[in-house]
Homo-oligomer: A and B are copies of this chain.
Amino acid sequence: MVKQYFMPTRVILGEDSVKNNPSVFSEMGKKALIVTGRSSAKKNGSLDDVTEVLSKNGQEWSVFDRVMANPSVECVYEGASFARSEKVDFVIAIGGGSPMDAAKAINLLACQDIPRDRLFSGNYGAEILPMIFVPTTAGTGSEVTPYSILTDHGEETKISIASPILFPKVAFLDAKYMDNLPRDITVNTAIDALSHAVEGMLSVRANPMTDAIASESIRMISSCFDALKKFQLTRNDRGKLLYASTLAGMVIANTGTTAVHSMGYSLTYYKDIDHGRANGLLLAEFLKFIERHRPDKVEQILACMGMKKTDEFKDLFDELLGEKERLTLDEINMYTEKAMPKKNIRNSIAVPGKEDVLNIYKASLG
């Protein structure tokens, strides 16, 4: 297994960074496909900023705004067909994890003929259009990862496409697009980012470079917990959460995620629990499981949060998550069966067996 740090995406950051860097867009080609969700990019000003730049540059664009939360395989094939018909030169993704992840798959499928049964094979050609990503939530880190997570209704789960060709060329980070993000999205995405940094440190592929970046990400997010609890976030706090989520993305781009993600997918698929929240519901018990095998690593993570015990971590998450969803024993058994074959479950420094997964579900949501 190669331990490495590779992150070829150029990250440009700061207020109005989109509008201040028109040449980044003009270099990409004549016509853009803008992939976004149904409404948020229109409300938070990000779509306007992007189209203003394209317009001033004399560039054309088409908008594919039919990406739903947890985008499906069907959705990305539809987007790819649209991209082909519009003959675009590059792709711009604007939004949270759903539009960003969808944009990567749409791009791949627009450039390469990949039948559905080979979509998750990992074997792709090199053809891809250059991509510019503008995240408008601070969680997924998709702007700096080679992953596209899709919902596969055939398999009743989420599943990922991973390839170095899916790294965006450029990511713009501007916290102003997050000024009016509601509480639940703000908290859930912050938890998602924290989960990435924590899982990255618990990955078998973790290394001193990714650990360094993950540690800082955890510190930055932790400095916002009080503001998150009260939901009184300054622009500065929003910035910290955004930069921390990108740092966490740089981590998982190299380490992958772990059992928390494998186990969370069923919570999202069957219970419609937001992805970040799903991770958050499982994280404390996963940390306790790891602690029994690698207390040193858990101690390191807790130290970045200013904590000494996993119980403090659990208390914090109980407060952030509020009343928790509950699962029946049947559901827990079924979700355990779904989680066990996932690749990322074998990606942590201590691999949970079936009994362990069952117990983490039970202790978290039983």
What residues make up the interface of A, taking CB atoms closer than 8 Å to B? 2-14, 17, 20-21, 207-209, 212-213, 215-217, 220, 239-240, 243, 246-247
Contacts and interface: CB of A to CB of B under 8 A. Distances in A.
A243 B213 CA distance: 12
A212 B247 contact: yes
Contact of A13 (B5, B12, B220): B5
Contacts of A3: 12-14, 17
**Copies of chain A in the complex:** 2
A209 B246 contact: yes
24 contacts: A2-B12, A2-B17, A2-B20, A3-B12, A3-B14, A4-B12, A5-B10, A5-B11, A5-B13, A6-B11, A8-B8, A13-B207, A13-B208, A14-B207, A208-B220, A208-B240, A209-B243, A209-B247, A212-B220, A212-B243, A212-B247, A213-B213, A213-B216, A216-B216
A17 to B, nearest CB: 8
Given A212-B213, A220-B212, A243-B208, A6 B10 contact: yes
Nearest to A208: B243
A239 B209 CA distance: 11
Main secondary structure of the interface of A (DSSP, over half): mixed
Residue among A10, A246, A247 with the highest chain B CB neighbour number at 10 A: A10
7 A-B pairs closest in CB distance: A212-B216, A6-B10, A208-B243, A5-B11, A8-B8, A4-B12, A3-B14
Nearest to A207: B13
